[in-house]
Amino acid sequence: LILRSPDSLVMDLSFALSQLTSLVRRATLRENDLAPKYEKVHNFKVHTFRGPHWCEYCANFMWGLIAQGVKCADCGLNVHKQCSKVVPNDCQPDLRHVKKVYSCDLTTLVKAHNTKRPMVVDMCIQEIEARGLQSEGLYRISGFSELIEDVKLSFDRDGEKADISSNVYEDINIITGALKLYFRELPIPIITYDAYPRFIETAKIADPEKRLESLHEALKLLPPAHCETLRYLMAHLKRVTQCEKENLMSSENLGIVFGPTLMRAPELDAMTALNDIRYQRLVVETLITNEDVLF
């Protein structure tokens, strides 16, 4: 029998505890990777409830015969109208309420499917990189519109089970078209309406280093799910430019294609919106070129 000193036992216990803490931390990090904690506001709509209903926030009865309160269209939470102003931004969208992929708010979609990014973005980019990076005019050449619409319907119907392989859609331009359509149909663009003016002002800065600094700060204005999706897209477009000799798509060309797709002017007059196009191009071009340092 070997007797060990109390100090030795304490050291062993401390080491075991540190190992356990490390394991828990790593497990938590892995869990966070799989289930990002994006904050999301509720999407409340005035609702008429049938039968007696109680507010799920204050637990008091919801009086009246019609329009007794509001209901979140994304998670189904029922509350008084006055309570909706103080409910935390903790909406957890339910797939029973989120029934489509296209035209759905980006944060709502990723929270409903418990993913980092919209599955349509991941799946389309993976398919493009698997068989289309050297395709001439990638993203510039349009695919057949009816087949692009077919891809959209497939995602809305089947979600991550949608088949976009070459067996179904041989032309890679159909997949690039479907991806661009997804971004165009977002109710709130990837570069949000709130952040839009800051990004445009950034593009007007002549000094490249100061422009980068300003762009880095502008990215912080984006909701986390938007910023993560933009990061993933820019890394992909950077890989597209690395095959420029074959596909003839430079960062400038991709900026022309994706500028108006990722950025939409919030209620600007036609002339201002037209003038903004060159700045939209420059924003995307800068994001692609410097994606490794900006994100």
Set out the domains of the chain in order of their start, with CATH numbers. 40-97 (3.30.60.20), 119-293 (1.10.555.10)
Q: What percent of the chain has pLDDT over 90?
A: 67
pLDDT tens-place string over residues 151-206: 999 999 999 999 999 999 999 999 999 999 999 999 999 999 999 999 999 999 99
Of 183, 119, 127, nearest to 155 by C-alpha is: 119
10: pLDDT strictly greater than 50: no
pLDDT for the residue 230: 98
The span from the CA of 214 to the CA of 197, in Å, is 12
pLDDT for the residue 36: 59
Q: Average pLDDT for residues 107-135, to the nearest whole number?
A: 95
pLDDT band at 25 (very low <50, low <70, confident <90, very high): very low
Bigger pLDDT: 216 or 88? Answer: 216
Of 251, 244, 256, nearest to 285 by C-alpha is: 251
12-16, 151-155, 177-181, 248-252: segment of lowest average pLDDT: 12-16
32-46, 85-99, 246-260, 262-276: segment of lowest average pLDDT: 32-46
117: pLDDT strictly greater than 70: yes
pLDDT for the residue 92: 84
> Residue 43: which residues within 8 A CB-CB, separation 6 or more?
72, 73, 74, 91, 105, 108
pLDDT for the residue 292: 94
Task: Please check whether residue 43 is in contact with residue 107, taking contact to mean a CB–CB distance below 8 angstroms.
Answer: no
Q: What is the pTM of this model?
A: 0.76
Phi, psi for 61 (deg, rounded to 5): -65, 145
Of the CA atoms within 13 Å of residue 91, those in its CB half-sphere come to: 29
| The one-letter amino acid at 42 | H
The span from the CA of 241 to the CA of 247, in Å, is 8
Residues in the chain, total: 295
User: First CA to last CA across the chain, in angstroms?
Assistant: 58
pLDDT band at 3 (very low <50, low <70, confident <90, very high): low
